[in-house]
């Protein structure tokens, strides 16, 4: 709208037309959030169903997973609108530490071992280094490269390298996961992965807003799982 104000000061008639068009575009824009995913194996059998719940601010607060008949519940706690912990019915609580709006640390105890991560970012707030420790002893690290908001490459100091290719559609994670958690996610990109190291390939069906409604995952040319996505308008 700032652009419209400037135009009003310079070319009144043009600004009025622009303002009218902008209002129409805002009225026509539709927002979605993800409410449910269903993962199936290569034979079409349901492996996992996840339902997502949100608070009045639209923040994800709970996800309920039914995995092969077993129910797992995870709940997110916020402070100053930032996720600070995830309590899990099946495991210990995950906690996060911050520098401003960026998560710089994550910790959780599993099997009596304290697992911690230290995160570093570039100027675009993209995760570029993940250092991992077990009981405060350095374990390993991964570094990342990006292009156009998508993770292009990941390199592990243990020898693993992954290269990624993308479509130009919307990543469903942006429709339910807090941005702070997306940044440290395994696949934090704005678009959807279609290829990993030429071994894993993915294709999608999309809705009118460009979000996937179905994912088909292939390994060496064979389907090995599918995911179906359900959204609601907000």
Whether 80 and 100 share a structural domain:
yes
Tally the domains of the chain: 2
One domain, residues 52 and 147: yes
pLDDT at 181: 97
Q: What was the pLDDT predicted at 10?
A: 34
Nearest of 135, 132, 122, 89 to residue 188 by alpha carbon: 122
Question: Is 102 in the same domain as 202?
Answer: yes
- 21 shares its domain with 47: no
Count of H-run helices and E-run strands, the chain: 3, 16
Same domain, 80 and 105: yes
pLDDT at position 137 is 98
Q: Give the pLDDT of residue 229.
A: 98
Average pLDDT by stretches of 10, the chain with 234 residues: 37 37 51 94 96 96 96 98 97 97 98 97 97 97 96 94 96 95 94 94 96 95 94 92
Question: What is the per-residue pLDDT for 198?
Answer: 87
Query: Do 161 and 224 lie in a common domain?
Result: yes
Contacts of 119 (CB under 8 A, 6+ apart): 102, 103, 104, 105, 106, 127, 129, 130, 131, 183, 184
Query: Residue 196's pLDDT is what?
Result: 95
| Residues 80 and 21 reside in one and the same domain | no
Q: Taking the model in full, what pTM does it have?
A: 0.83
What is the residue range of 3's domain? 1-29
The per-residue pLDDT for 29 is: 62
Residue 12 shares a structural domain with residue 48 = no
pLDDT for 234 equals 84
60 touches 51 (CB < 8 A): no
Q: CATH number for the domain including 200?
A: 2.40.160.190
Residues 125 and 221 in one domain: yes
One domain, residues 53 and 134: yes
Same domain, yes or no: 1 and 66: no
At 28 the pLDDT is: 58
Looking up tokens 């292939």, which residue turns up? 218
So what's the pLDDT on residue 221? 85
**Three-state helix/strand/coil letters over 129-176:** EEEEEECCEEEEEEEEEEECCEEEEEEECCCCEEEEEECCCCCHHHHC
Q: Does one domain contain both 191 and 111?
A: yes
């Amino acid at each position: 709208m700032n652009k419209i104000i400037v135009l009003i000061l310079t070319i009144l008639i043009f600004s009025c037309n622009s303002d009218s068009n902008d209002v129409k575009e805002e009225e026509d824009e539709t927002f979605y959030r993800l409410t449910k995913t269903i993962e199936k194996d290569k034979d079409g059998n349901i492996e996992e169903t996840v339902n997502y719940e949100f608070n009045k601010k639209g923040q994800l607060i709970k996800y309920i997973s039914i995995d092969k008949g077993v129910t797992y519940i995870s709940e997110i706690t916020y402070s100053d609108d930032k996720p600070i912990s995830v309590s899990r019915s099946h495991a210990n609580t995950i906690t996060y530490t911050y520098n401003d709006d960026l998560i710089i640390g994550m910790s959780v105890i599993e099997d009596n071992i304290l697992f911690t991560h230290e995160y570093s970012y570039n100027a675009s707030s993209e995760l570029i280094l993940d250092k991992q420790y077990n009981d405060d002893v350095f374990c390993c690290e991964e570094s990342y490269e990006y292009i156009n908001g998508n993770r292009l490459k990941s390199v592990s100091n243990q020898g693993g390298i992954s290269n990624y290719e993308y479509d130009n559609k919307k990543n469903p994670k942006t429709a339910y996961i807090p941005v702070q958690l997306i940044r440290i996610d395994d696949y934090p990109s704005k678009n959807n992965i279609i290829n990993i190291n030429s071994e894993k390939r993915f294709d999608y069906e999309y809705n009118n807003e460009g979000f996937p409604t179905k994912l088909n995952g292939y390994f060496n040319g064979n389907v090995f799982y599918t995911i179906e996505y359900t959204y609601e308008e907000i």
